[in-house]
Amino acid sequence: MGIRVENLHKSFGTEKVLDGINLEIPDRSFFSVVAPTGAGKTTLLRILAGIEPADAGTVYYDGQDMTDVAVQTRSVGMVYQKFINYPSLTVRENLASPLQVSDQNHSQEEIERRVQETAEMLQIDHILDNLPEEVSGGEAQRTAISRALIKEPDYLFMDEPLANLDYKLREGLRSDFERLFSEQDTTVVYATPQAGDALAMSTHIGFLHDGNIIQAAPRDEMYFRPRHLPVAEFLGEPPMNVLPATFNEDNTGRYFELDDGTHLEAGSLSALSPGTEYLLGFRPQDMTLTENGAGTTIHPELSFVETVGSTSTLHMHFQGKEIYALNEDPVHRKTGSAIPFALDPEKFYVYDSESGDLVAAGEQIPSFSQQHSPFDG
């Protein structure tokens, strides 16, 4: 019951929002469409659900062309960023409404049973007799999600459902989602600008950039093998650090030369041509505080430290760019001081400075066998 998308186009006026999207969403996956705000996620979701027509291209549900199938006759549910419930109906009536109008004639007892079940699953059974305006934002959104789930749709589309909730409610619903959808037979398509949400909940992630899905893969592969720079820079909290660096090899070895003349060992990274400028990526988690300025070390300047519990996020300046480092222990250093960090070349990502495509990745990074991988040899 997966979704396949072929060559999907959509423009609003002269603005091309979706520009030839090809996508495969596996059956029963939790598929996150990740992109910054305004990239066309909502439009893509609406076209997939059948609420909005595409200019060109085809959407298949389970291999079946859905172009001429109206949204009313599809087995879909949708949850929006705004909390959409019928304002004059109680939560109970809101939950019952999708069943009451459906083709299959549900008996009154069955409707009541399913309302009760769904309400318990989403922990809103205590507000069933309230109006939507009388409940909190989190409860209103749980009601909207229940409304979508009660039909047991084959496909569920969620468009930034957590965006209007505060931090604590977000966390609560996020863990609910993981629990709920591992049990359901539903294929979930989830749009979010939050890399953290996508990485926490999804089984698969697709990255939307300039009207195209530039990479779609299982979650860990997306994280460990971002094949294009925008994906690398977006997926990760804090984001991956990227520095321009020129690859060279001479009698001292193989190394990257940064703009300030610093040499970083290139380790066993292959498929690099000497004298070429690349973009060198490394994750904040892979930077190690060091005391001796040996080999592969950089000295960024500290802007400020953000400490949550025992983990510190260091915000730093290096060669006119902002870079981040994560440290397991609290860090107490003066703002403006240069901090030595050791980098492991086996955890480097090397991107082409023109196209932004992944050229090489360090050996220590978990690898994935992929048939179309550009760095297969």
Partner 1 sequence: MKQRPWLFLLPALLLVSLSAFIPLITVINYSQLTILPGTEPYFAGLENFVAILEDEAFQGALGRQILFSFLVLITEIPLGLGLAICMPKEGPWVGVCLVLLGIPLLIPWNVVGIIWRVFTRSDIGVLPAFFDWFGYSYSISSSTFDAWWTVLVMDIWHWTPLVVLICYAGIQAIPKEYYMAAKIDRASPWKTFRYVTLPNLRGVLIIAVLLRLMDSFKIYAEPFVLTGGGPGSSTTFLSTYTSRMAIGGFEMGRGAATSLIYFFIVILFSFVIYIVMLNLGQGAGGDQ
Residues engaged in binding partner 1 (CB under 8 A): 46, 49, 51, 71-72, 76-78, 80, 82, 84, 86-90, 93, 97-98, 100-102, 131, 147
Nearest residue (CB) to partner 1, 25 versus 145: 145
Nearest residue (CB) to partner 1, 9 versus 82: 82
Other Cβ atoms within 10 Å of 373 Cβ, number? 15
Shortest CB 325 distance to partner 1, Å:
41
Shortest CB 234 distance to partner 1, Å:
26
Shortest CB 70 distance to partner 1, Å:
9
Within 8 A by CB and 6+ apart from 195, the residues are 34, 234, 235, 236, 237, 239
Give alpha helix (H) positions in 63-166: 91-100, 108-121, 137-149
β-strands 76-79, 30-34: how paired?
A: unpaired
Interatomic CA distance for residues 35 and 206, integer angstroms:
9
Shortest CB 45 distance to partner 1, Å:
11
State the burial class of residue 329 (Cβ atoms within 10 Å of its Cβ: 0-12, 13-18, 19+).
exposed
Interatomic CA distance for residues 258 and 281, integer angstroms:
12
134: left (phi over 0), alpha (psi -120 to 50) or beta: alpha
Q: Which helix (H) or strand (E) holds 247?
A: strand 241-250
CB 352 within 8 A of CB 278: yes
Interatomic CA distance for residues 166 and 155, integer angstroms:
27
Shortest CB 51 distance to partner 1, Å:
5
Whether cis (ω within 30° of 0) applies to the bond prior to 238 is yes
Nearest residue (CB) to partner 1, 99 versus 235: 99
Shortest CB 56 distance to partner 1, Å:
22
Interatomic CA distance for residues 294 and 302, integer angstroms:
20
Nearest residue (CB) to partner 1, 89 versus 331: 89
Nearest residue (CB) to partner 1, 49 versus 325: 49
Half-sphere exposure of 191 (CA within 13 A, CB side): 25
Amino acid in the structure at residue 72: Q
For residue 280, give the nearest of 356, 368, 195, 219 by alpha carbon: 356
Nearest residue (CB) to partner 1, 76 versus 205: 76
Nearest residue (CB) to partner 1, 40 versus 284: 40
Shortest CB 323 distance to partner 1, Å:
39
Nearest residue (CB) to partner 1, 78 versus 243: 78
Nearest residue (CB) to partner 1, 190 versus 278: 190
Shortest CB 86 distance to partner 1, Å:
5
Shortest CB 336 distance to partner 1, Å:
45
